[in-house]
Amino acid sequence: MHHQKRTACSVPTATAVRAASVSLPSATDASSAASVPSSSAASAPASSTASIPVSSAVNPSSVPSSSAASSASSVATLASSGSASSSAASAAPSASSTASGNTGDKLVVAHHMIGNVYPYTLENWAEDVSMASASGIDGFALNMGTDEWQPARVADAYQAAQESGTNFKLFLSLDMTCRLALRSADNAAKLRAIVNQFADHPNQLMYDNRVFVSTFSGEKCNFGQGSVADGWKSQFYQHADLAGKIYFVPSFFVDPAQFSQFADIMDGDFNWNSAWPIDVTTQSAKSLLSSAKSVSNLAASVSGNVTLDGTSFTSLLGGLSNGLGPLLGSTDTDEKHLQSLSSLTGGNAKRDGQKRAYMASASPWFFTHYGADTFNKNFIYLADQHLYSNRWENLISSRDSFDIVQLLTWNDYGESHYIGPIKGDQPKSNAWVDGFNHTAWLDMTQYYATAFKTGSFPAIEKDKLIMWARPHVASATASDAVGKPTNFELTEDAVWAVAMTSAPATVTLNGQTFDVPAGLTKLAVPLSAGEGMAGSIARDGTNTVELNPEFTFEGSPKTYNYNAFVVGATAA
């Protein structure tokens, strides 16, 4: 089988959910949030913007300041034009939004699974490059495994990028999870060869005048040496074939406190798991409920020793999910990685006074549903409460700390976090992917990517509406042998939406109306079994955008599917 077998995506970071970091707001907090004029930034109490009940909207969206990204102690407007954040306003924008790879430039790249492109042609690659480039993405991280056919597809990607005329950049992300049985020096030689094959290509991403190389995992590969660090150092980073040529930014799934052992090889760090609140689980949510002394937004007061059955837990979770809001898109894990990275000495990264690069991640979704007969992973990461927007907003507000944002992913269908079109060769994920296009999220990507790279949000010239929902009720029961995914209880029955408006307008979602300012506004309405999904943007009594997809929220599905059904439309 020629598919990349992703097995390490759920490797946890060293951080854990802390009850003290979660604020459980009252039911009136978000609905009472003041509307901030789109032309200025404003400070507001955290309780006014920290959460979004499904029956109300935040007008406008807000970004925490860089000094308190996770606590939302201050906010700045995401206007159709203007400063990206209160902290970014004083920072000089990046000199260029192109993928030059000069240290100091901000870059946005997307993770592209080569294991899913077996049938790709040069034309397919050209389509991907064109679509990504138009969406504010500067390049692809090419996740490459061990299949013999993969180098040919990688070569096609480089050719398509060169022929596009867009200065679109590429770099290798060496997937080490499929190389665990190949830990010899010979395997390292193969890695060096593939890096050198594309090192001089005009579309290779160069960083600090070196070939940018990343990994997925690799913290267990010693290449026949006495330790992992020695293996990567002697057989890869400082080997004569590559010495002084590469800028190495791996994603090693280790506690950041262990970075010191890799000081001689890590030019930077890629924090894969920072895209999702991976420590927010059903179990951690139950723990928070059980330890709460008084939570006004819950249906009942919960004391420390209460044991909750599934029914009561689900009924109480709606209130708790709002309290979890500050954890969705938080930069807490980034801060830990950055602190450990900045303390490293040695290696080549600090030559000429350059700091080590930090590559954060962002992702709109996560659901995977493989049984024991395939990849045996069946779980979700919580992506409600506008995870993608919240993550981007936190990254933008603290953009001085982040060099590159890697989007997870362009085409990893098996984990449902693809933002590119559905094509190529799926890894046995058709049951929950077919018919669930996610490309409407690219409009949001372009908006946020521009703000991250330049320090200012772009003007919205045409109204846009993006809507998404899961296909069935969260608590539904299906005759599915794989079973419900772990953490399904965290999900909400809602239509989530983002309205991007060129001027103040009225947004209608499933019959509920919201007056929104110019800029980007996050909205949500509850969804019940049997209902559809419909939305519009109107101004001066005329609809500028209408969305009415063929969609019915199921109460009794045949199989479990917690993927997102995403649609979008733009004004003519």
DSSP reduced 3-state for 359: strand
Spatial separation of the C-alpha atoms in residues 391 and 315, rounded to whole Å: 27
- Maximum Cα–Cα distance across the chain: 72
Distances (CA, A) of 346 to 25, 342, 353: 46, 11, 12
For the chain, the domains span 88-276+326-570
| Single-letter amino acid code for the residue at 190 | K
Structure tokens at 459: 């003007």
CATH of domain 88-276+326-570: 3.20.20.80
Phi, psi angle pair for 506, to nearest 5°: -115, 125
Q: At what angle do helices 387-397 and 441-454 cross, to 10 degrees?
A: 10
The DSSP code for 450 is: H
Which pLDDT belongs to residue 290? 61
Q: Is residue 357 classed as helix, strand or coil in its secondary structure?
A: strand
Question: Distance between CA 469 and CA 553 in Å, rounded?
Answer: 8
d(CA 399, CA 414): 30
Q: What is the pLDDT of residue 355?
A: 81
Which residues neighbour 222 within 8 Å (Cβ) at sequence distance 6 or greater? Answer: 183, 228, 230, 231
pLDDT at 62 (0 to 100): 34
* Start-to-end C-alpha separation, the chain: 45
Q: What is the pLDDT of residue 324?
A: 72
pTM of the model: 0.82
Tokens found for residue 385: 């409460």
Per-residue confidence (pLDDT) for residue 348, from 0 to 100: 52
Tokens of residue 335, six digits: 């801060």
Distances (CA, A) of 22 to 95, 304, 307, 325, 522: 38, 16, 21, 8, 21
Q: How far apart are CA 162 and CA 120, in angstroms?
A: 17
Q: Is cis: bond before 93, omega within 30 of 0?
A: no
139-144/107-113 β-pairing: parallel
Cβ burial 92-102 (10 Å sphere, 16+ → b, else e): ebbeebbbbbe
Residues of the chain with pLDDT under 70: 1-104, 178-183, 289-323, 346-354
Q: How far is CA 454 from the centre of its chain?
A: 20
pLDDT, residue 40, reads 30
Tokens linked to 95: 């000199």
d(CA 149, CA 118): 8
